[in-house]
């Protein structure tokens, strides 16, 4: 009899253990497990911030206030991630609690595009940073868990909160749409039910960590002096003129609506190196499909490219119904020779292939006006407020001498300086119209008497 009871109890215990292991999603057991995993994964990496606003930064007549929010430890040396743009020169007092240790923090870098800042403390011992290289997945309908720390007023207790993922909000940084969470969770890490880090809580939702990782890592590398290669630059380019696909056309042709036409691919550029051609449809960059539609797709591409000279990229295009991948290296945008003509009041440059296509120029055998000096002969016209020359005008002759390039323009200018005429004829193209104007060289001449004008 006693052996039967023992066998019955053993079977009951095994059944209970098995049931606990396979608790269905949404059950109290699975919620408890998700909470415990989030608490375990967040141990040592949470930051509790308290910012006491300085009187000088209080808005209007309102009194200075104290704001609390969450953050994340990024390095053993004490680099912390905060979910606000906190300028390095702020007069606000920033306190940070890592566990039960309190520190005074200072901002060392604010990143407006990210909406976050990098703060620094001097830790008493090496901290436990989060692992930026490891992230998990979070699907629609899944439970998500976040944890926040506290100060001595709450005996340094960590509080866990549960939310549901209601969808994905598209953007350069995608967001998980979450059911409501307390304000104190802003800046806290977000975990899935298995305890994997998936995002960072924002004011209403959560940034997707996979999208944030490259920029967070770059911020940290720059702070640690480990950033490789030159900084991103506007002078570095992909090497093609891009145009967003029309969404109605994309729908009718069963094409991705997040895509860019390669209108013109320039020689000796990254896009040309990758084997891309005029008319290709760009659909993917560095293993990720393009996002959004219209001009927002082009903005996403420009940001996702993170252009640095010498940086390699991988992209995918559609050509005749086939997907074609290619790799290339980003190069500097070609910079034409320029010449500043103070006598006339303009700056001119040679015309390269990029200018010809981007500006849709009708004439390329000349020099293009890039700058205009107010009050100069070129800026003073027959009608009030209307200059004789304008930016993007293409000068083909100066003083009767052809100016096919900057060198020829310089020689013509030297001749004018030697002759010192009162007026100079300039021939130019403005769009498809050929024009001739006479520049009054006495304008702006300090040696001229008032009567001579």
pLDDT digits (tens, 9 = 90+) for 161-187: 999 999 999 888 889 999 999 999 999
d(CA 365, CA 356): 11
The answer to whether 293 and 247 have CB atoms below 8 angstroms apart is: yes
Does residue 290 lie within any of the structural domains?
Answer: yes
Comparing CA positions, the residue from 443, 424, 296, 308 lying closest to residue 377 is 443
Same domain for 310 and 356, yes or no, is: no
Does residue 171 lie within any of the structural domains?
Answer: no
Instruction: Tally the C-alpha atoms within 13 A of residue 177's C-alpha that lie toward its C-beta.
Output: 8
Same domain for 355 and 428, yes or no, is: yes
pLDDT tens readout for residues 285-314: 998 899 888 888 888 888 888 778 888 999
**Chain centroid to CA 318: how far?**
26
Same domain for 361 and 287, yes or no, is: no
Helical H runs in 232-326? 247-252, 270-273, 295-305
* Burial per residue of 399-430, b for 16 or more beta-carbon CB atoms within 10 angstroms, e otherwise: beeebebbebbbebbeebeeeeeeebebbbbe
Does residue 97 lie within any of the structural domains?
Answer: yes
Range of the domain at 100: 46-120
What CATH code is carried by the domain that includes residue 426?
A: 2.30.42.10
Helical H runs in 167-316? 209-224, 247-252, 270-273, 295-305
pLDDT tens readout for residues 330-374: 988 878 889 999 888 999 999 888 788 778 888 889 999 999 988
Comparing CA positions, the residue from 319, 238, 314, 323 lying closest to residue 280 is 319
Strand 240-244 relative to strand 260-265: parallel, antiparallel, unpaired? antiparallel
Number of domains in the chain: 3
Residue 115 is encoded by which pair of tokens? 């909406």
Per-residue pLDDT, 355: 83
Per-residue pLDDT, 96: 95
Residues in the chain: 453
Same domain for 315 and 377, yes or no, is: no
Residues forming beta bridges with residue 145, ordered by sequence position: 162, 191
Same domain for 367 and 282, yes or no, is: no
Does residue 435 lie within any of the structural domains?
Answer: yes
**To 5 degrees, how large is the angle CA 296–CA 299–CA 304?**
125
Helical H runs in 138-228? 209-224
**Which of 40-44, 112-116, 328-332, 383-387 comes out lowest in average pLDDT?**
383-387
Residues forming beta bridges with residue 189, ordered by sequence position: 200
Residue 439 is encoded by which pair of tokens? 């520049």
> Does the pLDDT at position 40 exceed 60?
yes
pLDDT band with cut points at 50, 70 and 90 for residue 227: low
> Which of 332, 361, 377 is the endpoint of a domain?
332
What CATH code is carried by the domain that includes residue 111?
A: 2.40.10.10
pLDDT band with cut points at 50, 70 and 90 for residue 60: low
pLDDT band with cut points at 50, 70 and 90 for residue 22: very low
Per-residue pLDDT, 23: 47
Radius of gyration of the chain (CA): 32
Comparing CA positions, the residue from 46, 72, 34, 35 lying closest to residue 160 is 35
> Does the pLDDT at position 448 exceed 50?
no
Mean pLDDT of 28-51: 91
DSSP letter at 184 equals G
Sign of the CA dihedral 365, 367, 369, 374? negative
d(CA 244, CA 297): 7
Same domain for 297 and 349, yes or no, is: no
d(CA 327, CA 275): 8
Does residue 34 lie within any of the structural domains?
Answer: no
Per-residue pLDDT, 449: 32
Residue 306 is encoded by which pair of tokens? 């993170």
**Which of 17-21, 111-115, 143-147 comes out lowest in average pLDDT?**
17-21
**Chain centroid to CA 153: how far?**
39
Class of residue 109 by CB neighbours under 10 A (exposed 0-12, middle 13-18, buried 19+): middle
Same domain for 378 and 291, yes or no, is: no
């Amino acid at each position: 009899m006693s052996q039967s009871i023992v066998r019955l109890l053993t079977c009951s215990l095994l059944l209970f253990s098995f049931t606990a292991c396979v608790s269905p999603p949404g059950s109290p057991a699975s919620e408890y497990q998700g909470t415990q995993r989030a608490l375990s994964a967040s141990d040592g990496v949470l930051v509790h911030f308290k910012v006491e606003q300085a009187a000088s930064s209080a808005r209007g007549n309102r009194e200075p206030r104290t704001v609390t929010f969450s953050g994340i430890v990024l390095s053993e040396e004490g680099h912390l991630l905060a979910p606000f743009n906190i300028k390095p020169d702020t007069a606000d007092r920033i306190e940070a609690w890592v566990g039960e240790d309190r520190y005074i923090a200072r901002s060392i870098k604010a990143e407006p595009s990210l909406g976050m800042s990098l703060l620094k403390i001097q830790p008493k011992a090496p901290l436990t940073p989060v692992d930026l290289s490891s992230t998990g997945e979070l699907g629609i309908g899944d439970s998500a868990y976040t944890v926040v720390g506290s100060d001595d007023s709450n005996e340094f207790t960590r509080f866990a909160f549960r939310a549901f993922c209601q969808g994905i909000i598209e953007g350069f940084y995608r967001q998980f749409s979450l059911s409501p969470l307390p304000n104190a969770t802003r800046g806290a890490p977000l975990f899935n039910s298995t305890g994997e880090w998936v995002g960072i809580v924002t004011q209403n939702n959560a940034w997707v960590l996979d999208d944030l990782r490259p920029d967070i890592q770059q911020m940290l590398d720059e702070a640690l002096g480990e950033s490789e290669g030159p900084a991103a630059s506007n002078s570095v380019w992909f090497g093609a003129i891009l145009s967003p696909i029309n969404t109605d056309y994309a729908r009718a042709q069963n094409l991705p609506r997040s895509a860019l036409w390669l209108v013109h691919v320039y020689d000796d550029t990254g896009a040309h190196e990758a084997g891309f051609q005029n008319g290709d449809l760009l659909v993917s960059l560095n293993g990720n499909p393009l996002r959004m539609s219209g001009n927002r797709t082009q903005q996403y591409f420009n940001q996702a490219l993170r252009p640095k000279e010498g940086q390699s990229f991988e992209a995918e295009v559609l050509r005749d119904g086939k997907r074609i991948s290619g790799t290339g290296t980003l190069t500097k945008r070609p910079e034409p020779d320029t010449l500043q003509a103070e006598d006339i009041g303009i700056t001119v440059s040679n015309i390269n292939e990029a200018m010809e296509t981007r500006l849709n120029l009708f004439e390329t055998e000349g020099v293009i006006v890039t700058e205009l000096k107010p009050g100069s002969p070129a800026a003073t016209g027959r009608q009030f407020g209307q200059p004789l020359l304008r930016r993007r005008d293409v000068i083909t002759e100066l003083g009767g001498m052809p100016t096919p390039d900057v060198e020829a323009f310089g020689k013509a200018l030297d001749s004018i300086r030697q002759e010192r005429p009162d007026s100079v004829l300039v021939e130019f193209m403005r769009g498809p119209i050929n024009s001739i104007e006479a520049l009054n060289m006495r304008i702006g001449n300090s040696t001229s008497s008032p009567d001579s004008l």
